[in-house]
Amino acid sequence: MKTLFVGQNSIHVESVDSTNSYASEMLRQIELVEGSVIYSFEQLKGRGQRGNSWESEPNKNVALSMVLYPKFLLVGQQFLLTKIASLAVADLMAELLEDSTNTRKISIKWPNDIYVNDQKIAGILIENTLKESTIQSSVVGIGINVNQLKFTTKNATSLAMIVNKEFELVKVLERLCEFFEARYLHLKSNKLGSIDDAYSERLYKLNEWANYLSGEVSFEGKVKGVSKTGKLQVEMRNADEREFDLKEISFLS
């Protein structure tokens, strides 16, 4: 693969409960080189945001975890890792789906699910180890639906379902590593403005009225962007703008 460090040390696990859990356990025992990738094509208990599980048929999809040491980031900048990981997956989807004409809308459903039109094709789970004011290590877990054709949930899709062909899992993984490294190097170069803009432009339901739920209250809102700390900025019908944390809001439609 054409990378400087991401994926150059790759560890393939035949079957694993969760690549994030596996990577985190390895980090407790040894210091892996930055950019190390633990990957599997059979993840039994994949984890997502809000404690959700990740449905994956064996040998049909890609599950991987990247190990990083972003000590240049302050604790308050953690969401930047979510942004670059989400953008890297979106970059990959745009290439593999040959979406140059934007007929298939590839978006980021806040905070870090990747959607094609209104269906989920990939998810991300980032787990950071903090020390004082900085991030000591990060495990960036990414799951991509590649060749699976049937899901129990209606809003899931895969690359194969969209373009009606199978993909080589290793090549998908390698290309993802290349896209991720490019975005990570932008982050290390402090190109924060371009990262923020690119993430905002990809937001699902951006500037569209949609239904949301906060606590017991449902309401109409319009996504306007994301704050520096990763809170979703939503315009209300009365023109007020509110910010919501991960557990404070959910999409209804």
Query: What length does the chain have?
Result: 253
**Count of beta carbons in the 10 Å neighbourhood of residue 240:** 8
What is the spatial distance between Cα 211 and Cα 231, in angstroms, rounded to a whole number?
Answer: 18
Helix H or strand E encompassing 8 = none
Contact 223, 207 (CB under 8 A): yes
**Angle formed by the axes of helices 79-96 and 192-201, nearest 10°:** 60
**pLDDT value of position 47:** 53
Structure tokens at 253: 């439609």
Tell if the pTM clears 0.85, that is, is over it: yes
What is the spatial distance between Cα 3 and Cα 200, in angstroms, rounded to a whole number?
Answer: 26
**pLDDT value of position 117:** 94
- 209-251 CATH: 2.30.30.100
**pLDDT value of position 82:** 98
**pLDDT value of position 56:** 77
pLDDT digits (tens, 9 = 90+) for 131-162: 999 999 999 999 999 999 999 988 999 999 99
Q: Which residues of the chain have pLDDT under 70?
A: 45-54, 99-103, 253
**pLDDT value of position 51:** 52
- 10-201 CATH: 3.30.930.10
Give, as one character, the DSSP assignment of residue 43. B
Distances (CA, A) of 46 to 50, 56, 58, 172, 180: 13, 8, 12, 19, 20
pLDDT digits (tens, 9 = 90+) for 176-203: 999 999 999 999 999 999 999 999 999 9
Where along the chain do its domains lie?
10-201, 209-251
Q: What is the largest CA-CA distance in the chain?
A: 54
